[in-house]
Amino acid sequence: MKYYLYNNLANNGIKTEIEGVQLIDASKIDYQDFFNKLNKEDEVVIVGGDGTINYFINHVDTDNLKNNVYIYGGGSGNDFLNDIEEDPGKEVLINEYLKNLPIATVNGKKIKYVNNVGVGLDGYICVVAERIKEKSPKKRINYTTIAISSLLFHFKPVSVEIEVDGNKYHYDNVWLAPTMKGRFYGGGMMIAPGQRRNEDFLSVIVYSCKSKIKSLMLFPKVFTGEHVKRSDVVKVITGKKIHVKFSSPCACQIDGEVIEGVSEYSVEL
């Protein structure tokens, strides 16, 4: 039997409809207990986007799945599907991508993720997006517009201390410093073009620049991955064990889910 699960807590409760399919609200069930009771031949389709996948991987032992699990893209960004180059409008088998996932530690809480964890401008953008969703649940979020406005008028860059596999780095005027498992975030930004999902390393992308205008002029290249060629602004550090500390608290986002008031985070693959 094939079961279709959606997370009513994600995407402001907006449910993707699939013709002829009965959807189960995953927020009202015990995810792990549900999977434990499945027969081996049963299959599960997760309906939603990156936030829905994140909810799933943090409620089920994805390293030991006995059932085939698919994703049917129903989110606003679908960065995970974009990264594995699959169409959101079909069921995609994802078991191979759910093993050995990185674990972020934020404010003492351990959270697995499939795409990224970031603190800074990206986290701030997600906070603004959440507030827009609260006021207008059906309004489509334009992350690019929010990013430009935030960069120019609202977010202030910070200093950052980074340690990757024992090597220490310091950067000033940092706009963002996400640690990427995939290439994409923010609904299509190829922030880490060199990152490969099934490799045993992560990429820290440090975007630092004193000039707002210079930072803004380079920003459109994020959508093609060309920004990494500007080594005067963008630094890429790869590794397995990462710690990032900010000079002042910022908003954090993990696969688009927001945690405010974060001064540091750690990641281990």
| pLDDT single digits (tens) 22-52 | 888 888 899 889 999 999 999 999 998 898 8
C-alpha to C-alpha distances, 21 to 2, 6, 44, 67, 115, nearest whole angstrom: 10, 12, 12, 19, 28
* High-pLDDT (> 90) share of the chain, %: 64
Q: Which of 131-135, 192-196, 201-205, 264-268 has the lowest mean pLDDT?
A: 131-135
pLDDT in tens, 165-174: 999 999 999 9
Per-residue pLDDT at 139 exceeds 80:
no
pLDDT of the residue at 7: 79
Span 78-128, pLDDT tens digits: 899 999 999 888 899 999 999 999 999 999 999 999 999 998 888 888 888
Per-residue pLDDT reduced to its tens digit, 226-262? 999 999 999 999 999 999 999 999 999 999 889 999 9
| Chain segment 12-21, per-residue pLDDT in tens | 555 566 777 8
Domains delineated in the chain: 2-99 (no CATH), 104-268 (2.60.200.40)
DSSP state of 232: T
Q: How far apart are CA 267 and CA 212, in angstroms?
A: 29
Of the two residues 135 and 185, the one the predictor is more confident about is 185
> What integer is the mean pLDDT of 123-147?
78
pTM listed for this prediction? 0.90
DSSP 3-state assignment of 131? helix
Of residues 21 and 266, the one with the higher pLDDT is 266
Which pLDDT belongs to residue 109? 95
The mean-pLDDT minimum among 58-72, 128-142, 184-198 falls in 128-142
